[in-house]
């Protein structure tokens, strides 16, 4: 293969790697409180997108280099086998643990169908850890606002329940406290909680 052709292929692969890395950015921003729900769902996959970018960069380096001696070919093969032996188990573990969140409950506001209260188990272990969020809007404009996380070692106690207790009010109860959140009527963004210890 001509040197110029190898270089073109290598830079094309690097461009694709850059696109894969940039595709992750909307997902990372969507995962933050106030982020777009659909952007998080579609693009917040770091193992797949950043792993693909890394593989494309490595392949582009291999394509671009010219291996003239037998020792350079053997050295490259050994390095690639070592890289694959380390990265494949890490990638498989990442894929197995990706999207481990389990939605438990979704309560739509009685008067406003564009507001929903969601409860998700985000625990990495057997002990439950519940993340409570408010979803505002519908479709591509839907945003999620985190109210907090309840469970062991959360500082808020064990989660007992979350419900709409007024037109713009959400109450989250745990074994240690009751937290009341008031939402902005225009945007649905939650304010600071009013916490009462039990």
Percent of the chain clearing pLDDT 70 (strictly above)? 96
Query: So what's the pLDDT on residue 98?
Result: 64
Over the Cα atoms of the chain, what is R_g? 24
- 108 sits in which H/E element: strand 102-108
Between CA 114 and CA 64 the distance in angstroms is 52
Number of other residues whose CB lies within 10 A of the CB of residue 17 = 20
pTM for the structure as a whole: 0.77
Strand partners, 58: none
**97: confidence class by pLDDT, cuts 50, 70, 90:** low
Flag whether pLDDT at 184 surpasses 80.
yes
Average pLDDT over residues 144-153: 90
Number of other residues whose CB lies within 10 A of the CB of residue 6 = 16
Phi then psi dihedrals of residue 102, to 5 deg: -120, 110
Percent of the chain clearing pLDDT 90 (strictly above)? 45
Burial class of residue 169, CB neighbours in 10 A (0-12, 13-18, 19+): middle
Token pair in block for residue 166: 């007024």
- 195 sits in which H/E element: strand 194-197
Between CA 142 and CA 113 the distance in angstroms is 12
Domain boundaries, the chain: 3-97, 102-197
């Amino acid at each position: 293969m001509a040197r110029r052709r190898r270089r073109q292929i290598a830079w094309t692969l690097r461009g694709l790697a850059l696109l894969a890395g940039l595709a992750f950015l909307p997902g990372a921003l969507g995962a933050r409180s106030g982020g777009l729900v659909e952007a998080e769902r579609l693009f917040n996959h770091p193992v797949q997108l950043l792993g693909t970018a890394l593989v494309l960069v490595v392949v582009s380096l291999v394509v671009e280099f010219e291996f003239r001696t037998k020792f350079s070919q053997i050295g490259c093969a050994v390095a690639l086998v070592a890289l694959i032996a380390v990265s494949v188990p890490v990638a498989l573990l990442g894929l197995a643990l990706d999207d481990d969140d389990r939605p438990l409950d979704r309560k739509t506001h009685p008067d406003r169908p564009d507001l929903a209260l969601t409860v998700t188990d985000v625990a990495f272990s057997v002990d439950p850890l519940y993340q409570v969020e408010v979803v505002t809007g519908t479709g591509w404009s839907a945003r999620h606002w985190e109210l907090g996380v309840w469970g062991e070692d959360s500082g808020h106690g064990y989660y007992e329940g979350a419900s709409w207790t007024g037109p713009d009010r959400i109450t989250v109860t745990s074994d240690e406290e009751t937290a009341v959140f008031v939402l902005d009527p225009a945007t649905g963004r939650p304010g600071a909680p009013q916490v009462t210890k039990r």
